Amino acid sequence: MAIDWKTYDSRATWDELIGPGGRPRAAARRLCAYLKSLSDEELRERKDAAILAILVMGITFTVYDEEGGSIDRAWPFDIIPRIISAKEWQRTREGLVQRVTALNLFIGDLYGRQQIVRDGVFPAEMLHESKNFRPQCVGIKPPQGTWAHICGSDLVRDASGTLFVLEDNLRVPSGVSYMLENRQVMKRTFPELFHEQAILPVDDYPAQLFDMLSALSPRDGEEPVVVVMTPGIYNSAYFEHSYLAQQMGCQLAEGRDMIVGDDDCVYMRTIAGLERVDVIYRRIDDLFLDPEAFDPDSTLGVRGLMRAWRKGNVALANAPGAGVADDKVVYSFVPDIIRYYLDQDPIIENVPTFRLTDPVEREHVLANLHELVVKPANESGGYGMLIGPHSTKKQREEFAQLITKNPRNYIAQPTLALSTTPTLVESGDCEPRHIDLRPFVLSGPDPYVTMGGLTRVALKAGSLVVNSSQGGGSKDTWIVDTEAG
């Protein structure tokens, strides 16, 4: 047979499906037994079926070359899902809601009284040197007091099986469309498995997103007009922008499709004339949103948009300025932020993190770069990192200079033995590959957490980099209710 779990080698780290001695974990037993029953040919047929489904459905992502050009590629996908028990997920859900609730209070405080700074819990110099603090947002109180309406927090599990938050994504978090499409591909590939066990659904996300956005509308008693605002077809996440607009039944619009009128309301150009816009789900970075308030050369935004938002005539999700908490240095303070605002201990801990503004911690990091992972405070997509154990002496010397020159711009973390899960590789064999998980949290009147999220997988043997732009792929994530099964 194609798969023999007793010979599967998880390389002494935590594996999501297979426990010690090659025994499948409780939530994965049915899946593992089924996969073991398939022949090599049947497994290849399922893999080919998934590839065909991705091509037919047009699921792509964009990568950029060194010259600035872009290339659309078929979404890299592995047919063996990642499985988490519903009981464990309930606790994870509580931890994510706790975290985002505290972060929203933190952001509102920074643009208000800054009490957390006054009380010495968050250093004033950290705020003053923040690249994502927007003075234009000071004094604004968005609807429901929510700044980060959509959050994608990256979770990882270490060699002992402990779950950690690796980072928070609060500006324009992406990837949820791939979570939804992964599920559709799996239903086509293994329809029988969805009939045999209780795999909790993710399909309600677009409806939940639309309801959350609609609740932000400044006009009571009228059907809200919700728009997904995109930079355009050349953006790497354009597939997701168009997908979510279609799934929610909303208009997909670029900045040039909207204007702010003399009444400081936002209007969209349509074939029937101007139509007022109530809520904008913006997928554009702050600095390009409004040339009147931010970058005067921006051609992607809407002139006067911030003025309309400040006056409460339109809702923006996520709110401008939310990125002040989407900073890997701020991330290191989140446990303190949770305790400060909620008077609770974090349900999900951070990965241990060195703050390089501290001279003692910086000295330790500089002496141990070969063992650590160094990340810039505000980059994403796996760019600008140093993975110490896989680095050259020259790279470590370069990072030492960068850290010494601007310690506020970097953090360092130990190299975790990230959990693995079985993955079909090019040879047709099943081998362990490292993974992470990005669940999505909607902060509305009733917080909503996806049943699972986007599992990203490092397709290269031994690699810890899961980003699709860096050669990673993805898997469907199953939250399995074993009691219902």
The pLDDT value recorded for residue 417 is 85
Q: Do 224 and 309 sit in the same domain of this protein? A: yes
Judge whether 48 lies within some domain: no
Q: Do 223 and 302 sit in the same domain of this protein? A: yes
85 SS3 class: strand
Q: Is the pLDDT of residue 76 over 90?
A: no
Judge whether 127 lies within some domain: no
Q: Do 246 and 306 sit in the same domain of this protein? A: yes
The pLDDT value recorded for residue 280 is 98
User: Residue 211 has what DSSP assignment?
Assistant: H
Judge whether 463 lies within some domain: no
* Mean pLDDT for the chain overall: 91
Structure tokens of 221?
């008693």
Average confidence (pLDDT) over 177-195: 93
Judge whether 397 lies within some domain: yes
pLDDT tens column, 55-73: 888 877 665 555 555 566 7
Average confidence (pLDDT) over 166-177: 92
Residue 239 in contact with residue 59, Cβ under 8 Å?
Answer: yes
The pLDDT value recorded for residue 170 is 93
Q: Do 235 and 307 sit in the same domain of this protein? A: yes
Domain span including residue 410? 352-414
pLDDT tens column, 402-419: 999 999 999 999 988 899
First to last CA, the chain: 26
Closest CA to 51 of 12, 78, 69, 24: 78
Q: Is the pLDDT of residue 53 over 90?
A: no
Q: Do 296 and 377 sit in the same domain of this protein? A: no
Q: Is the pLDDT of residue 459 over 50?
A: yes
The pLDDT value recorded for residue 396 is 95
pLDDT tens column, 82-139: 999 999 999 999 999 999 999 999 999 999 999 999 999 999 999 999 999 999 999 9
Closest CA to 1 of 44, 33, 40: 40
Domain count, the chain: 2
pLDDT tens column, 334-393: 999 999 999 999 999 999 999 999 999 999 999 999 999 999 987 765 678 898 998 999
Judge whether 226 lies within some domain: yes
Question: Highest mean pLDDT: which of 240-244, 428-432, 481-485?
Answer: 240-244
Q: Do 298 and 362 sit in the same domain of this protein? A: no
Q: Is the pLDDT of residue 10 over 70?
A: no
Judge whether 309 lies within some domain: yes
Place 1 in a pLDDT band, splitting at 50, 70 and 90: very low
Judge whether 403 lies within some domain: yes
Task: Compute the distance between CA of residue 442 and CA of residue 97 in angstroms, rounded to an integer.
Answer: 9
Q: Is the pLDDT of residue 235 over 50?
A: yes
Task: Compute the distance between CA of residue 174 and CA of residue 150 in angstroms, rounded to an integer.
Answer: 10
Judge whether 294 lies within some domain: yes
The pLDDT value recorded for residue 79 is 94
Q: Is the pLDDT of residue 19 over 50?
A: yes
CATH number at 237 reads 3.40.50.11290
Q: Do 235 and 309 sit in the same domain of this protein? A: yes
Place 260 in a pLDDT band, splitting at 50, 70 and 90: very high
Q: Do 371 and 288 sit in the same domain of this protein? A: no
What are the phi and psi torsion angles at 387 (to 5°)?
A: -100, 100
CATH number at 369 reads 3.30.1490.270
What are the phi and psi torsion angles at 349 (to 5°)?
A: -80, 160
Helices (H), 151-258: 176-189, 191-196, 205-214, 238-248
Query: What is the pTM assigned to this prediction?
Result: 0.93
Task: Report the percentage of the chain scoring pLDDT > 70.
Answer: 94
Give me the sign of the Cα torsion angle 96, 101, 102, 107.
Answer: positive
